[in-house]
């Protein structure tokens, strides 16, 4: 395995932060989920469509993925949804927007939103300032780590790293439990800063958060996600799926992470227990559109929680303009303090995904790919090319467009 390969759970943060630097700046507040396209929608600018198609052709070829599906939705304009390549190498089936796929760390935005809903309604008494020793008293520095720190990745809990990828390659059908994963997290070396004084992207944070939600509400995480988000939003082709079982039609996933296996290896039937609250969601491109709108508007959140997810960034991140907020990657213009976009990427062996909500235009961009290229970042070539092709009306690049 090349040294450049990294554990799948870390990919979301790296790619998310890189994408944030490409996106633009407007300072208005969304008014809620946009309606589906209607006959009154204006056509997407033909020149923009041409540029997107050309950028997709070139970047998809460079990515090495078997297939990709992308979408851009701008309020009041016709959608742009395009596919390239195949969803199944053996059957030579083309990619299709209806296909379900594993979306990895985008799961963190779903779990984070559920947590903020639960905290905001106040019914179970959970707060952002609760320390985790209430549930995990033996976890290192548990009395100093708060729920807020779990959500903005400032707890200092170490990342799973190569050890997790080695476990997945050794047992792709693992049924490891959340508490077993948390126990591994407890023995993982901490980052060299006190809780709340730095920023390290680690899925163990979201594992602990997910179990806290289950214990405080008395409801399993899958049901919480269904009841709080998937059912009311009509996301019928999305599922929290530690078992990793996709519902037809679906994309086969192709991974080069495990050197002892064929290159690439079909990972379609691999389980997602290693991902759980940090990466076990399944979805489609259209459901990612729905989720992008919900994420942008702060669906089901009180005004206090909606503001907190953007304002409570980990220390040291705002100077660069991007950081991890409460359950979502946040991009802010350092010059004005304006929110530019909310976004997240995700990767599981054989799969990559991305969703991005542009604050000013209320546009959503989403991507689903079915190859990792051995780094987990194969899909980023496509994300980068398409985001760069967006015009200022969708993703302005000048901070002059922002208002404080």
* Residue 2 pLDDT greater than 50, yes or no: no
Say how far apart CA 47 and CA 320 lie, in whole Å.
33
Return the SS3 of 19.
helix
Q: What is the pLDDT of residues 127-173, one digit of tens each?
A: 999 999 999 999 999 999 999 999 999 999 999 999 999 999 999 99
Q: Do 80 and 72 form a contact (C-beta atoms < 8 A)?
A: yes
Return the SS3 of 230.
helix
| Averaged pLDDT of the chain | 89
Q: Which of 349, 197, 390, 365 has the alpha carbon at shortest distance from 295?
A: 365
Element (H, E) at 43: none
Q: What is the largest CA-CA distance in the chain?
A: 60
Say how far apart CA 388 and CA 377 lie, in whole Å.
17
Q: What is the pLDDT of residues 288-334, one digit of tens each?
A: 999 999 999 999 999 999 999 999 998 876 555 778 899 999 988 87
Element (H, E) at 185: helix 178-187
Q: How many CB atoms lie within 10 A of CB 125?
A: 9
Residues of the chain above pLDDT 90, percent:
80
* Residue 20 pLDDT greater than 90, yes or no: no
pLDDT of residue 27: 27
Q: Which of 201, 203, 236, 5 has the alpha carbon at shortest distance from 104?
A: 203
Q: Do 209 and 150 form a contact (C-beta atoms < 8 A)?
A: yes
Q: For residue 177, how many C-alpha atoms fall within 13 Å in the half-sphere facing its CB?
A: 4
Q: What is the pLDDT of residues 342-374, one digit of tens each?
A: 999 999 999 999 999 999 899 999 999 999 998
pLDDT of residue 22: 38
Helix axis angle, 8-20 to 161-170, nearest 10° = 130
Distances (CA, A) of 280 to 37, 166, 245, 270, 364: 30, 18, 10, 11, 22
| Residue located via tokens 């991305």 | 354
Q: What is the pLDDT of residues 175-203, one digit of tens each?
A: 999 999 999 999 999 999 999 999 999 99
| Residue located via tokens 């809620």 | 32
Please name the residues in contact with 253: beta carbons below 8 A apart, sequence gap of 6 or more.
Answer: 101, 102, 266, 267, 268, 270, 348, 349, 350, 351, 370, 371, 372
Element (H, E) at 127: none
pLDDT of residue 402: 58
Polymer length of the chain:
404
| Residue located via tokens 């901070």 | 399
Say how far apart CA 281 and CA 239 lie, in whole Å.
6
pLDDT of residue 21: 34
- pLDDT band at 399, cuts 50/70/90? low
Q: Which of 3, 7, 13 has the alpha carbon at shortest distance from 327?
A: 13
Say how far apart CA 1 and CA 160 lie, in whole Å.
17
Cα of 388 vs its chain's centroid, Å: 20
Please name each of the domains of the chain with its CATH number: 8-359+382-396 (3.40.710.10)
Say how far apart CA 70 and CA 80 lie, in whole Å.
8
Q: For residue 248, how many C-alpha atoms fall within 13 Å in the half-sphere facing its CB?
A: 2
pLDDT of residue 174: 97
Peptide bond into 249 cis (omega under 30): yes
Q: What's the Rg (C-alpha) of the chain?
A: 20
Element (H, E) at 190: none
- pLDDT band at 10, cuts 50/70/90? very low
Peptide bond into 160 cis (omega under 30): no
Q: Do 200 and 191 form a contact (C-beta atoms < 8 A)?
A: yes
């Amino acid at each position: 395995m090349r040294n450049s390969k990294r554990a799948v759970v870390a990919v979301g943060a790296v790619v998310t932060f890189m994408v944030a630097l490409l996106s633009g700046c407007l300072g208005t507040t969304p008014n809620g989920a946009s309606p589906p396209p209607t006959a009154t929608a204006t056509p997407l600018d033909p020149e923009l469509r041409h540029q997107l198609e050309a950028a997709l052709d070139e970047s998809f070829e460079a990515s090495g993925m078997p297939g990709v599906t992308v979408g851009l939705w701008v309020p009041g304009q016709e959608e742009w949804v395009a596919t390239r390549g195949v969803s199944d190498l053996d059957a030579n089936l083309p990619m299709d927007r209806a296909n379900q796929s594993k979306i990895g760390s985008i799961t963190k935005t779903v779990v984070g939103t559920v947590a903020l809903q639960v905290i905001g309604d106040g019914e179970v008494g959970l707060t952002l300032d609760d320390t985790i020793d209430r549930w995990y008293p033996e976890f290192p520095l548990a009395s100093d780590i708060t729920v807020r720190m779990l959500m903005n990745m400032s707890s200092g809990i170490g990342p799973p790293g190569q050890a997790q990828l080695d476990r997945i390659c050794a047992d792709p059908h693992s049924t490891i439990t959340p508490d077993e994963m948390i126990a591994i997290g407890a023995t993982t070396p901490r980052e060299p800063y006190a809780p709340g004084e730095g920023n390290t992207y680690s899925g163990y944070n979201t594992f602990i958060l997910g179990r806290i939600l289950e214990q405080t509400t008395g409801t399993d995480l899958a049901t919480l996600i269904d009841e709080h988000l998937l059912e009311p939003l009509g996301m019928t082709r999305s599922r929290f799926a530690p078992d990793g079982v996709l519902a037809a039609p679906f994309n086969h996933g192709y991974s080069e992470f495990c050197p002892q296996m064929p290159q690439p290896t079909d990972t379609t039937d691999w389980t997602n227990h290693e991902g759980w609250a940090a990466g076990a969601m399944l979805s489609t491109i259209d459901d990612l559109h729905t989720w992008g709108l919900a994420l942008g508007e702060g669906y089901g959140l009180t005004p206090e929680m909606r503001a907190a997810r953007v304002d409570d960034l980990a220390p040291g991140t705002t100077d660069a303009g991007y950081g991890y907020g409460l359950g979502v990657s946040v991009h802010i213009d350092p010059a004005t303090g304006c929110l530019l976009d909310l976004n997240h990427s995700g990767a599981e062996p054989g799969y990559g995904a991305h969703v991005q909500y542009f604050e000013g235009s209320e546009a959503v961009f989403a991507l689903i790919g079915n190859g990792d290229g051995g780094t987990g970042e194969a899909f980023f070539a496509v994300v980068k090319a398409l985001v760069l092709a967006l015009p200022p009306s969708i993703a302005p690049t000048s901070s002059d467009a922002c208002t404080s």
